[in-house]
A and B are shown apart, each in its own frame.
Chain A
């Protein structure tokens, strides 16, 4: 498993999100400039895992965003890890994670 998610981005639209599996995992949302604005998790309390979480993101954000995801049963710890790696790489959390972040530690990934 790669530390940083580097899969290709997909357009956050109805057709693309409908193709996503209903599995548990983590995802990133980027704005039109490619800046990551959100790192999220699709946990076991979601109705259809990644698909319903990304459809919720689409409904809330509207067009102009893109997404990528990783199916991962360890969605919780992977989410923490991705937030900490982002913080280490950029000095701050993605914009939409700043309001109510989980308790995080500090990583200095190689």
Chain B
């Protein structure tokens, strides 16, 4: 397969690459090394630029006002957007806009009016409430939060953990068990306004990702009406699953972007740093690390673009998305680690972005489904005969 960008894709890649290098990276010199937000004036100025570039709201479908860029091109651009210090989790500090949560594109007309459109206009923020203290890898079985029928609505009780943005969001998409006798067939998805009585953001959860935090939520007799059910009762797991599969492609792409940048820095350093009278670039031990970096980057890029192409063609891509997420998150960690080794002591400091990438990249082997779950997804397909010669 030929994954070289076509002329139009290359033009967009060049445009975004220039934007990252000339607009984003210089601002980071004045931010905390763990910064996650731009000064509001800078943010507004750069949003105006991405709108002028025709790339604002890049992940929003055309029918909802997005720029109509296909998923392969978006993947190529996501690789570019993450090539800066905060890029793994906050690509370009959000100045290209977000799509909100993709599930809302499937919401009913009333829900779209109340939630999707305000989110797309930037008036409302949303959180995704899936993971619970009982586990995140197997949501179909781990979800203990329950919703019980009451007065033309549902009463939600339970807790969620590792939920990003819940303390700032106006509403969330929350998964709860509505039929205890069924596994994945007993979960329903609810839209919960964050000012609903009984909804609490109980604490901040500090992690390796010290630029921003997750939260722990508690639902205590939190009543929501039937109008807040997203999709159908007991069919919420499919909504969660679809989101998890789709999310794995951009998730992989940002790992690749950071790996590319780390490797680029390591190469530059190896060309100018001498030890014992010889440039690092001329030492076989370092050359082999650079070779391994290149192999890791190219292989994860291949898997990620393959997944994006299958999604673009409308074919099932869950297995390929798992392969992309698995390879890119694991390879990204190795590339950053080797690059730090090449930099030596400087690689450990907050003067360089490597230490932040090292911490954040470690989370990537867990977030959006750990490596072991990705392997289970792929293995299931292999054993059932679904994976052949690509």
- Residues of chain A touching chain B, judged by Cβ–Cβ distance below 8 Å, are 1, 3, 43-45, 73-78, 80-81, 84, 102-110
Could you say which of B36, B168, B210 contacts A105, with CB atoms under 8 Å apart? B168
Q: Are B167 and A84 in contact (CB under 8 A)?
A: yes
Q: A44-B34, A45-B32 are in contact. Are A107 and B213 (CB under 8 A)?
A: no
Q: Are B201 and A80 in contact (CB under 8 A)?
A: no
Could you say which of A1, A44, A74 contacts B32, with CB atoms under 8 Å apart? A44
Assign chain B's interface to a size class: 20 to 34
Q: Are B167 and A44 in contact (CB under 8 A)?
A: no
Name the residue in B165, B167, B200, B202 with the highest tally of chain A Cβ atoms < 10 Å from its Cβ: B167
Q: Are A80 and B34 in contact (CB under 8 A)?
A: no
Tell me whether chain A's interface is mostly helix, strand or loop, or mixed.
loop
- Residues of chain B touching chain A, judged by Cβ–Cβ distance below 8 Å, are 32-37, 165-168, 200-204, 206-207, 210-213, 215, 218, 350
Q: How far is the CB of A31 from chain B (nearest CB, A)?
A: 26
Q: Are B34 and A106 in contact (CB under 8 A)?
A: no
Tell me whether chain B's interface is mostly helix, strand or loop, or mixed.
loop
How far is it, in angstroms, between the C-alpha of A65 and the C-alpha of B124 when the chains are bound? Answer: 41
Q: How far is the CB of A29 from chain B (nearest CB, A)?
A: 20
Could you say which of B32, B168, B200, B218 contacts A103, with CB atoms under 8 Å apart? B168
Q: Are B203 and A77 in contact (CB under 8 A)?
A: no
Q: Are B213 and A81 in contact (CB under 8 A)?
A: yes
Could you say which of B35, B202, B207, B213 contacts A110, with CB atoms under 8 Å apart? B202
Residue of A nearest to B31 (CB): A45
Q: Given A77-B210, A81-B213, A108-B202, 11 more contacts at CB 8 Å?
A: A43-B33, A44-B32, A75-B34, A76-B36, A77-B204, A78-B206, A80-B213, A102-B37, A105-B165, A105-B215, A110-B202
Q: How far is the CB of A90 from chain B (nearest CB, A)?
A: 17
CB-defined contacts of B35 to chain A, threshold 8 Å: 76
CB-defined contacts of A77 to chain B, threshold 8 Å: 204, 206, 210-213
Q: How far is the CB of B306 from chain A (nearest CB, A)?
A: 36
How far is it, in angstroms, between the C-alpha of A47 and the C-alpha of B90 when the chains are bound? Answer: 26
CB-defined contacts of A104 to chain B, threshold 8 Å: 167-168
Q: A105-B166, A108-B200 are in contact. Are A73 and B210 (CB under 8 A)?
A: yes
CB-defined contacts of A45 to chain B, threshold 8 Å: 32-33
How far is it, in angstroms, between the C-alpha of A106 and the C-alpha of B203 when the chains are bound? Answer: 10
Could you say which of B37, B203, B206 contacts A107, with CB atoms under 8 Å apart? B203
